[in-house]
Amino acid sequence: MTIHYPFPVIRHIDDVLSAIEGRPEFIVVKKDYGLTIINYAYQDHDTFPPVVDKKTAILRECRGIVFDTVSGRILNRRYHKFFNLGEKSDSVVDVGREHCVLDKLDGSMISPCYIDGGIRWISKMGLTDVSMQAETYVADNETYVANNKTYISNKLNYIDLARVCLARGKTPIFEWLSRQQRIVLDYGKEDQLVLLAIRDNTTGNYYTRGDVERLGHDWGIPVVQATSPSITNIDQFLSDLRQKENTEGVVIAFADGHMVKVKTDWYVQLHRAKDKISRERHLIALIIEDKLDDLLPVLPLDDRERVEQFASWVHQDIKTFGSAVYNVMDMVRKEGWDRKSFALRSDGLYHPPIRSACFTLFDASIEDIRALAVDWGKTFVLRNLGNTALEKARQVLLTARWDGKVVEE
């Protein structure tokens, strides 16, 4: 089995609904602006099985495919699901087939679609904060006509290209690159909306590389770059590529529309690091368990500084907790309270973790209590990182907050 199979013909939403029936990984979302979007919510080992028939081929189309809610007619067909080299048993590469090697851009997939009679820009889940960034960019760079005069901002004609493609039943596919929505790589201060491909909504066939380049040139729109000539020695190519830095990798795009991703080792390592800091509870655990040493060196400077600042807040909160426990126990010793007296007089008076720590450390030497309370606080936080809201952990981490907006698929 290879990656090369005929793309399935899709005209109506029913073609897809029958294929995903009984598969909880796929979601059908009806938007209040007339679109129904089918996407996969998560991926397990059997979400995208080898393609053996039309049904299994359709599963790979459920990547933000768009239909008209009323008529069920297909409106928008973005990239089919394709994989990293070696990720699937059928993601093998035959460089004897006609192909080109394209930059693998590290942004968000965006495409135009008619909504309420006008062209809007949507992501895999429709109109989103990310798609609105791209839509604003298009509006700021639009060529328009008034009083029989043509006004051009930056000589970019996204709307005209979108109108022509959509009228012909094609979907132009773009990548939005912006510091507003940075994933891992930094493409600079200037936002970019780069044309990746153009696809037929019904047949799923892709325009040739030459046609995409020609249309991009005609409309003054940037097109994803070809990074190298055709591959002759795949082993040498992969060895050289994986050692590169400051790039995500490439897409090997075949003439029949099928593709395989190859990522650099540098990017994979960095993406894993970024993923670790995208979830507050995971990052807190790394900080408390003193495991940042291996993570910080691979992060970009701005992320490294943010992580270090957050770590200082976490440590300060825990030190403050230790001091609070010490102050309570110092007062208890001076007043000569025993456990029973403390239990009666402290009920409702102190924050629950402080009271619990005092009970645990009641018989410890006053000189050791501050350090022991810090350790107690760390253990308490680690034990309560299981839920994303972190309500109990925040009883110790009173001020430290992480926005977590680092990685988005």
Q: In sequence order, what DSSP letters do the residues of 176-188 get, joined into one string?
A: EE-GGG--SS---
Who contacts 203 (Cβ-Cβ below 8 Å, separation ≥6)?
7, 9
Beta strands in 15-79 (DSSP E): 26-30, 35-40, 65-68, 74-76
pLDDT in tens, 294-351: 677 667 777 888 888 999 899 999 999 999 999 999 999 999 999 998 888 888 788 8
Quote the pLDDT of residue 100: 92
Quote the pLDDT of residue 302: 79
Quote the pLDDT of residue 145: 46
**Three-point CA angle 347, 350, 354, nearest 5°:** 115
Q: How many CA atoms lie within 13 A of 119 on its CB side?
A: 21
pLDDT < 70 regions, the chain: 1-2, 89-92, 142-156, 181-189, 294, 297-298, 388, 404-409
Closest CA to 321 of 365, 377, 252, 391: 377
47-51 contacts at long range (C-beta below 8 A, 24 or more positions apart): 47/23, 48/81, 48/83, 48/88, 50/1, 50/88, 50/89, 50/90, 51/1, 51/5, 51/90
Quote the pLDDT of residue 1: 43
Q: Where are the domains of the chain?
A: 1-76, 277-395
CA distance 374 to 359: 14
The neighbouring-strand residues paired with 27 are 39
Quote the pLDDT of residue 113: 96
First to last CA, the chain: 28
Query: Which alpha helices (H) appear in 124-208, and where do they start and end?
Result: 129-140, 158-167
Please report where in the chains the tokens 């440590």 appear, as a residue: 315
Quote the pLDDT of residue 240: 87
Quote the pLDDT of residue 290: 81
**CA 175 to chain CA centroid, nearest Å:** 13
Residues in the chain: 409
CA distance 290 to 314: 12
